[in-house]
Every structure is written in C-alpha cells, then in structure tokens.
C-alpha cells in the first residue's frame, strides 16, 4: 500500500525577539513586495535574526555571489521597532494555510501585535497607487488619516487570506497593501511605491531613489525567481479567477 504523502511543515527559528510589528514580502506577482522588503533591509542596515525552515516542499536554496542563504529570513535591529520578513520561497496555495499558521503561531508566541504585508497584483489602477485590505483594528490604528484607499471588493487566497482570516478574529492587526504590477518581470516601480508606503505608515525616513540601482544589480536573480513563481502558479491555479 502506498504511504500517504508527507504534509509540508514550517518552523521559524530566531536568535532574538522580534519587534511588535512584522513587515512581510512574499514571492508573488511582480515580486514587488519581495524587492521592497529586501531594499528596506539594506537601507536600514538590518541584521538577519532568524529564518523559516520548510519540510515537505521541493528544496529551494537561493544564492548570491556564490553564497547560499535561507529562502525565508527575518531581519531587525535593536533600535527599530520593525522586523522584516523577506520570503523568497514560493508557497503553493494548497500549503498556504500551514505556512500562514506557522507565522501566526510564532507571532502570537512572540508578542507580535501587527503584520503588514506588501504585495503586487495584476489589476488596473488609474493612478498606479497603493490600495489596502485591513482588519478593523488595523484601519483604526494605522489608517485613520485617509492617506490610502481601500480596495473596493474581491477576495483573497493563499498566504494573504490565511493571515487576514486570523486577524479578523484575534487581537492581531493585519494590513495588506497592494499595488498594480507587471507579472513577467521584476516591477521596480511597484516596489518603490510599497517602500514609500512603509515609510508613510511607520514614520520612517525612507529614500527609495537607490532602488533602481539595487534592482539593476539583482535583475537576473529576480527574473529567474519570477519565472519560477509564474511556472508554479500556472500549475496550481485555475484560469478563471484573479488572486492576490
């Protein structure tokens, strides 16, 4: 008799306690959120303080300049109340709940009060701005000044849905910020908009102008990753829905 397939599992390991706020970028449409979080790590000179171990998924180990690294890493520094999650690993929709649950359980155990997710999506927007979906407590706490527009309607799936669903029924504040992006190449313009959003949300002095140079240096890496994400999405998603 065939043995049942091993269900994917995730473990978060960290050397120091995270901040009360977690800002996350995942490998998804246009990679804008991923590029934005990587840029914030560099700009604020954050130190790697943890990583996520995935079991039961195909092995995936990024490298740069000949040096391998963990695919999902946490960064922080003692004098900045923001922890950054840079997640290069594409997480299929079918295992997103397990991945999201691992992040949420870790957040709960480590007194994380707020999660902000940066993402891109292939939807038209006249001003190429940044729209949000957020739990009521996040809206009240972060968005009362009306500087950002809400998304009118739709649905979430995958990791975004997993995080938002937990936020609805718990004290955890969850906000998703989405900007229009291209799907086939790294979208630098989208990443710049998301970087500036983080600066506005948290009162950080963010200079997004060097991002063009940053993106040029890692262009081929992100092109390869974009191709991997696109291929995986085509294998796991039907053609008649729009996902974020």
| Burial readout 78-101 (b: 16 or more C-beta within 10 A, e: otherwise) | eebebbbbbbbbbbebebbebbbe
Number of compact structural domains in the chain? 1
- Does the residue 87 lie in any domain? yes
The C-alpha atoms of residue 124 and residue 21 are separated, in whole angstroms, by 30
Per-residue pLDDT reduced to its tens digit, 32-85? 899 999 999 999 999 999 999 988 787 888 887 888 888 899 999 999 999 999
Q: Give the domain extent around 172.
A: 9-236
User: What's the pLDDT at 233?
Assistant: 67
User: What's the pLDDT at 1?
Assistant: 36
Check residues 181 and 212 and name the one with the higher pLDDT. 181
Per-residue pLDDT reduced to its tens digit, 120-130? 888 766 666 89
Check residues 127 and 20 and name the one with the higher pLDDT. 20
- Does the residue 221 lie in any domain? yes
Q: 155 pLDDT exceeds 70?
A: yes
Q: 183 pLDDT exceeds 70?
A: no
Name the 3-class secondary structure at 73: strand
Q: What is the mean pLDDT of the chain?
A: 84
- Does the residue 2 lie in any domain? no
- Does the residue 244 lie in any domain? no
Q: 227 pLDDT exceeds 60?
A: yes
* Mean of pLDDT values over 10-20: 87
Check residues 109 and 4 and name the one with the higher pLDDT. 109
In this prediction, residue 4 has a pLDDT band, given cuts at 50, 70 and 90, of: very low
Residue 163's CATH number: 3.40.50.10900
Identify the top-confidence range among 4-8, 159-163, 212-216. Answer: 159-163
CB within 8 Å of 7: residues ≥ 6 apart:
56, 95, 98
């Amino acid at each position: 008799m065939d043995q049942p397939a091993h269900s994917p599992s995730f473990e978060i390991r960290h050397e120091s306690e995270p901040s009360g706020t977690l800002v996350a970028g995942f490998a998804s449409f246009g990679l804008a959120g991923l590029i934005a979080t990587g840029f914030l790590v560099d700009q604020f000179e954050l130190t790697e303080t943890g990583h996520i171990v995935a079991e039961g998924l195909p092995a995936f180990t990024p490298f740069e300049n000949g040096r391998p690294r963990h695919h999902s890493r946490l960064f922080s520094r003692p004098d900045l109340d923001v922890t950054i999650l840079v997640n290069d690993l594409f997480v299929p929709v079918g295992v997103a709940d397990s991945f999201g649950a691992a992040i949420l359980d870790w957040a709960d155990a480590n007194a994380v009060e707020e999660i902000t997710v940066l993402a891109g999506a292939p939807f038209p927007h006249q001003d190429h701005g940044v729209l949000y979906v957020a739990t009521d407590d996040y809206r009240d706490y972060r968005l009362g000044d009306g500087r950002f527009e809400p998304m009118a309607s739709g649905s979430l799936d995958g990791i975004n849905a997993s995080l938002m669903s937990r936020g609805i029924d718990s004290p955890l504040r969850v906000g998703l910020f989405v900007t229009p992006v291209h799907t086939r190449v790294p979208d630098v313009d989208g990443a710049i908009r998301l970087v500036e959003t983080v600066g506005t949300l948290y009162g950080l002095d963010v200079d997004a102008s060097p991002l063009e140079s940053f993106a040029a240096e890692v262009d081929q890496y992100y092109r390869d990753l974009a191709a991997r994400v696109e291929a995986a999405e085509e294998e796991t998603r039907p053609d008649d829905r729009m996902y974020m």
